[in-house]
Structure 1
Amino acid sequence: MTYKDKYNDWLKKADSDTIKELEAIKGNEKEIEDRFYKTLDFGTAGLRGVMGAGTNRMNKYVIGQTTQALARYVIEQGIEKRGAVIAYDCRIKSDEYAKQSATVLAANGIKVYLYESLRSTPQLSYSIRKLNAATGINITASHNPKQYNGYKVYWEEGSQILDDIADAIAENISRIDPFNDVKTVDFDKAVKSGQITMLGKDMDDMFIEEVLSLTLNDDIDKDVKIVYTPLYGTGLVPVTRILRERGFHNVTVVEEQKEPDGTFPTTPYPNPENVKVFEIPLKYGKKTDADMIIASDPDCDRIAMMIKNDNNEFVFCTGNQTGALLAEYMLSQRKEKGLYSPKDAVVQSIVSGSVVPKIAKHYGTHFFETLTGFKYICGLANEFEKTGEYRYVFGYEESIGYCIETFTRDKNGVSAAMMMCEMAGYYKKRGITLYEVLTDIYERFGYMTENQISVEYPGIKGAKVKKHVMSQWRKEPLLEINGIKCSVCKDYINGYEGLPAQDALKYEFEDGSWYALRPSGTEPKLKVYINAMGHSRKEADDLVKVFTEDISDYLAKCEK
């Protein structure tokens, strides 16, 4: 069917509200084509897209079709009796999509455990494992703007699905008519009959208990001053509770961003990677003379912080800097407390920084690198559990995602928040700031300055340009910058060093600096990651500017 055929088909079969929305775009060929030229891509990150009518949008028909496809796969594997867990975030229609998914699974004979209200991503991951469920669904678009929603699928280990399962579900989607093939039951009747069980306080309590068990040292200053914002999301309850139960009594929550709100009124792009998100929390930090400011994204899987520098000014910590601080603190504490094992392992993604591998080596800890995405990081945790050869301790990626230990198998903003605050309290009691710890890490292992170039390529034309840029870069890469030559070229398109295939390129230079390119898996963007090394902060800062300028210029050439 052409996009016009699909448009006309929806005009005949959809509900009245959807038809009204579609009739409003009659005659707008560009808009009709964008909504119907393809089915919203389903991959290892599930679905993510703008909400609206059409096959290339997030709506109840796409949700129903995808859930029916998942149900078929679960039944094909013979694991439907183990059930599925469903959670959702603060976004517009998240609760509706979650209930709809529950009714589709229940209609297919799959037991459903549905959270009674919004919950964080790490809580979903935990509950899948705790209930020994076959699968899980998380209705969230993480940090995307308010127009977006998403649908993530998890497997029995509590981690996001890998390529083989994603491909099988995508194949099922292609064979399902969203208007005729999707089974459903009445929600209230399914709850009453026990097909759908509501989850709440009991599961929350068990999750919090597990997070508290991660405590490494209680000889800390619990008067450390903390400002926290959940950015209108799911983090408010679990993060404030874990800090309270951990004994931190000097926590100020940003009032304007406290209550769940899918319109994100003060943060149109609620991504804590972006320092602009800290504009209001920073005012709180200055007013309370806080030691640190922490912000979790709407589904509370990722978390970022600001700390004070030597001039008592707040500075943003990148994901790599926070990862280095956490690795240094946790690995040193494990040694000191006798928790270290020769099997201990740290994992990070191929686009994460150059410092954590050196910290791991210093503490005699194994280091592993995986493809971008926590499904791969926690995929190694799953593998370690099966073989017993290594013991997963910590994993992170530069995009402010951290997972400590293995009771969850995805990014965990709740446990990371607790460990960040414990770390700050530990050093404060010893008269040391986190900024001083970070400087010491750089002095020992080399200064690293990073930057990221993110170029948007929207729509059909943009997708073609993005593909062209990657193709051109493969043919003629940029192999010398500032007189420094590239020593290693890594192309992951067909797999590299035993890793699965991914459309990504990485170029490592003689001085330890590197850059990498990859198309985003969730947004119409091409991302370039830059890490420049130096013997001093200034040297690394100066070099990253040169890398950024040269790569930006070369990127513009490749677009032509």
Structure 2
Amino acid sequence: MSEISKSVLDKVQSWLEDPFIDEETKQELRALEQNPAELEDRFYRELEFGTGGLRGVIGAGSNRMNRYTIGRANQGFAEYILNSKKGEGRKSVVIAHDSRHFSPEFALESALVLAGNGIVAKLFPSLRPTPQLSFAVRHLNADGGIVITASHNPPEYNGYKVYNAEGGQLVPHEAEEVIAKIRDVQSFSQVKRLTQEEAEAQGLLVWLGEEVDEAFAETVAATSANRKLLEEGAAKDVVIVYTPLHGTGNLPVRRVLNKLGFTQVHIVPEQEQPDAEFSTVKSPNPEEREAFTMAIELGRRVGADILIGTDPDADRMGAVVRDKNGEYEILTGNQSGAILVNYLLSQLKATGKLPANGAVVKTIVTSEMGANIARHYGLTVFNTLTGFKYIGEKMNEFAASGEYTYVFGYEESYGYLAGNYARDKDAIVASTLIAEAAAYYKQQGKTLIDVLEELYREFGYYREALSSLTMKGKDGVAKISGLMTAWRTNPPQELNGIRVDKMLDYSLGLDGLPKENVLKFLLEDGSWFCLRPSGTEPKIKFYFAVKGTSNEDAKARLKSLQDTVLAKVEE
């Protein structure tokens, strides 16, 4: 182990000598003695608690997801909850988990540490979607929430996300308080923990049941924009293929579709059951066409109008639509968002339910198309930083002031929320609303592709793209930092002969938003691109957006912008 840096060597030794760490974990570390690079990566830092929580590769080590890093985070979160001002009596936290490796174990471990701190842990007995956790925090009047998930990351990852009493992911000032509490946990001996038997006997571990599932399903069904239309038979005419991609969406999506009268729902059988390896896909990500391969095959067999997929924790929804020629076209997050905004607002207006002070909230990297549709209906549009926690924060502001009524929020990365019942994106409501839109327009002889084309003709031909570079490990972090510094200190003046009008540096805290390491460049022709290091993965993302005079013009403009920027990145 001599090739390892001394600081890492000391950390490894401290784990091997710690009486609070089990023998199996120590054996895993001893087996790596001849692999200094792996040990260095496992211990060169503490797994970072970001605004969303923890996310990383499962394994032993301070830079890995395991019961010890989670225990330490839980101890810090418990201290935060105990110091929160809400209410009197025992504090409570709701806990859910997805279908990943060790998700049930990490969820129970979280519950036992909270119980050790005198906090009632309300635990779902099996996998549940992230948005249901957000709903349950509010429904049960809890003081916070935890969900064990790594969303659509590869199988070797898991994560730990924490929620506030409103059911939203922690925003930066809240996360900073939790991080400070976690830093105070210098040793695993400080982590307070009960056994499962002790926690249950003391009423500090409560298992949640059917009541919360039914309340969630009923609430989501109630967000229908035109339930009367569905009940009159429109729902029965639509043929749907749905894939939960081995995750948590299977039962709740089907339950709500059934409540709304959709009877022709076909589940992709190979992807129906939970599978921690996500063995039928390269990535369980409904943003990628490859994830829909099996759904498209089934769709062709049953003549499906729309294919719907949700990611493992069911907070993101992707849709694929059959066009007039019978071909299946995948919608981007921005396209689905525009369709949902238009459908929802048109139905609310038709039924006299569109609030005069209505608001739509989107992120700074989301297309302007949905925003312009919302303004067309008289709504106010708000921009937030990337991350649904900021949309949730806006919802709380509206609820407190009464100045605006939240109608819809979304982000380009396939996250949508209609209704006020949660503070996180919800693939269940997105699935049911896009199925409802398909039913409504099918009655008019239109596919969702036809609707999208109509929206382009009215509002302009918007096109967007996303590229990313993955840079793993210690060196990757430094490279991403260097890249951001280079673009910040030496921004381009023009691209392809088009002048760069403005550079927005969100690290300065623009437009009243929190400071974040994001750069957005606005070009003279109305196009823009954005550089954003991921907060949860070792990658940097590049967002591109243009508005053209036709589909062909928009596609050409987008390719030109994307190629030019990425070529400069390579330099």
- Sort the TM-score into its range (normalised by shorter chain): over 0.9
Verify the 8 A CA contact 1:62 1:178 in the aligned structure 2.
Answer: no
Between the aligned partners of 1:533 and 1:480, the Cα distance in structure 2 is: 18
Higher mean C-alpha displacement, 395-404 vs 70-79: 70-79
Higher mean C-alpha displacement, 169-178 vs 315-324: 169-178
The one of 395, 402, 425 aligned to 1:388: 402
Verify the 8 A CA contact 2:282 2:291 in the aligned structure 1.
Answer: no
Between the aligned partners of 1:420 and 1:549, the Cα distance in structure 2 is: 33
2:100 matches 1:91: yes
* SS state at 1:194 partner: coil
The one of 222, 247, 251 aligned to 2:261: 247
2:218 matches 1:197: no
Please report the RMSD computed on the Cα atoms of aligned residues, expressed in angstroms.
1.2
Between the aligned partners of 1:211 and 1:21, the Cα distance in structure 2 is: 45
The one of 35, 44, 59 aligned to 2:42: 35
Between the aligned partners of 1:172 and 1:96, the Cα distance in structure 2 is: 23
Give the drift of 1:78: 4.9
Verify the 8 A CA contact 1:481 1:546 in the aligned structure 2.
Answer: no
Higher mean C-alpha displacement, 484-493 vs 249-258: 484-493
Which residue in 2 is equivalent to 1:24? 31
Which residue in 2 is equivalent to 1:434? 448
Given residue 175 of structure 1, which amino acid in structure 2 is its aligned partner?
Answer: D
Give the drift of 1:308: 1.8
Which residue in 1 is equivalent to 2:69? 62
Which residue in 2 is equivalent to 1:145? 154
2:83 matches 1:76: yes
Which residue in 1 is equivalent to 2:316? 302
2:16 matches 1:11: yes
2:54 matches 1:47: yes
* SS state at 2:189 partner: coil
Verify the 8 A CA contact 1:51 1:148 in the aligned structure 2.
Answer: yes
Which residue in 1 is equivalent to 2:123? 114
Between the aligned partners of 1:152 and 1:178, the Cα distance in structure 2 is: 22
Given residue 495 of structure 1, which amino acid in structure 2 is its aligned partner?
Answer: G
Between the aligned partners of 2:494 and 2:557, the Cα distance in structure 1 is: 13
Q: How far does the alpha carbon of each residue in 1:284-306 deviate from its partner, in whole angstroms, 9 at most, with x for none?
A: 11111100100000000111000
Given residue 464 of structure 1, which amino acid in structure 2 is its aligned partner?
Answer: A
Between the aligned partners of 2:203 and 2:355, the Cα distance in structure 1 is: 45
Between the aligned partners of 2:281 and 2:205, the Cα distance in structure 1 is: 35
Between the aligned partners of 1:482 and 1:237, the Cα distance in structure 2 is: 50
The one of 410, 417, 426 aligned to 1:403: 417
2:119 matches 1:105: no
Any stretches of 5+ residues in structure 2 without a counterpart?
1-5
Between the aligned partners of 1:283 and 1:90, the Cα distance in structure 2 is: 25
Alignment of 1:435-450 (within 5 A): 435-450=449-464
Q: State, as a whole percentage, how many aligned pairs show the same letter.
A: 44
* SS state at 1:448 partner: strand
Equivalences, count:
557
Between the aligned partners of 1:211 and 1:69, the Cα distance in structure 2 is: 33
Give the drift of 1:312: 2.1
Given residue 2 of structure 1, which amino acid in structure 2 is its aligned partner?
Answer: S
Verify the 8 A CA contact 1:88 1:94 in the aligned structure 2.
Answer: yes
Give the drift of 1:438: 0.3
Between the aligned partners of 2:326 and 2:462, the Cα distance in structure 1 is: 22
Verify the 8 A CA contact 1:478 1:554 in the aligned structure 2.
Answer: no
Given residue 501 of structure 1, which amino acid in structure 2 is its aligned partner?
Answer: K
Q: How far does the alpha carbon of each residue in 1:76-129 deviate from its partner, in whole angstroms, 9 at most, with x for none?
A: 225572311000011111000111110110110111111111110111000100
The one of 244, 255, 263 aligned to 1:230: 244
Between the aligned partners of 2:363 and 2:388, the Cα distance in structure 1 is: 8
Between the aligned partners of 1:274 and 1:432, the Cα distance in structure 2 is: 25
Between the aligned partners of 1:521 and 1:342, the Cα distance in structure 2 is: 36
Between the aligned partners of 1:488 and 1:407, the Cα distance in structure 2 is: 38
Which residue in 2 is equivalent to 1:364? 378
Which residue in 2 is equivalent to 1:521? 535
Which residue in 2 is equivalent to 1:219? 229
Give the drift of 1:177: 3.4
